[in-house]
């Protein structure tokens, strides 16, 4: 008898510089819906560069998940962005919530230059668009905490020799955040929490059923 999949989904706490983070609302919606086929472990991550590795390592050891999808917000993004690769660099445009601002340090000393997501990123993006949710494959999660989160989980999975498949999804700002903006950000793109949550559910279902990503040319940015 097959055991239920263990699925970790992470989001970030709000940023001290004023950017609200809809990923926590998505985690709350996933918990409330209770319709994920598998055991959902929803975790809030701190906007603290120094804590990500230890928290990620402990979560991997404690839960030994089959799937891991981390979420982050990218204000100005207009679609769901399924990230393909994380770079071994931290170059923070602004400080994290405890005042740390890296200027080009590696995520892990001696680690490879990059880690590819082990989720079927192109298939996920295709399935999202087919279901009416705007999406793309992104080839850069930037060099801030979202990239650090993605690189960290993929690197630790490799170091621990685990079979966990993992990746990262960026979501746009949500409407209530955009409504508070002043010129020139009044026309910032947004997406509802419901649609973001639906996108994550689709991503989980696709990752749970598709092991090998397709090699057809796709939408890449």
The catalytic residues are 83, 146, 170
CA pair distance 161, 168, nearest whole angstrom: 20
Contact 75, 81 (CB under 8 A): no
DSSP per-residue letters across 13-39: PPPTTS---THHHHHHHHHHH---SSE
Contact 148, 105 (CB under 8 A): no
Supply the Cα-derived Rg of the chain in whole angstroms: 16
Q: Is 38 left (phi over 0), alpha (psi -120 to 50) or beta?
A: left
CA angle 168, 169, 170 (to 5 degrees): 125
**Structure-block tokens of residue 120:** 């079927």
Contacts of 38 (CB under 8 A, 6+ apart): 4, 5, 6, 7, 66, 67, 204, 208
Contacts of 122 (CB under 8 A, 6+ apart): 82, 137, 213, 214, 216, 218
Contacts of 191 (CB under 8 A, 6+ apart): 80, 171, 172, 173, 174, 175
């Amino acid at each position: 008898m097959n055991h239920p999949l263990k699925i970790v989904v992470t989001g970030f706490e709000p940023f001290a510089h004023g950017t609200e983070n809809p990923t926590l609302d998505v985690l709350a919606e996933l918990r409330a819906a209770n319709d994920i086929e598998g055991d959902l472990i929803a975790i809030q991550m701190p906007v603290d560069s120094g804590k990500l590795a230890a928290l990620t390592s402990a979560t991997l050891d404690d839960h030994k998940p089959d799937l891991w999808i981390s979420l982050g917000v990218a204000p100005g993004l207009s679609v769901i962005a399924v990230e393909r690769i994380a770079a071994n660099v931290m170059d923070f445009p602004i400080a994290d919530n405890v005042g740390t601002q890296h200027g080009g340090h590696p995520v892990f000393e001696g680690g490879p230059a990059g880690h590819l997501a082990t989720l079927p990123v192109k298939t996920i993006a295709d399935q999202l668009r087919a279901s009416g949710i705007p999406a793309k494959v992104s080839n850069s999660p930037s060099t801030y905490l979202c990239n650090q989160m993605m690189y960290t989980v993929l690197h630790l999975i490799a170091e621990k020799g685990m079979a966990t498949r993992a990746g990262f999804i960026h979501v746009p700002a949500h409407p209530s955040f955009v409504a508070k903006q002043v010129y020139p950000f009044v026309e910032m793109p947004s997406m509802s929490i419901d649609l973001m949550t639906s996108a994550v559910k689709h991503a989980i279902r696709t990752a749970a059923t598709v092991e090998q990503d397709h090699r057809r040319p796709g939408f890449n940015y």
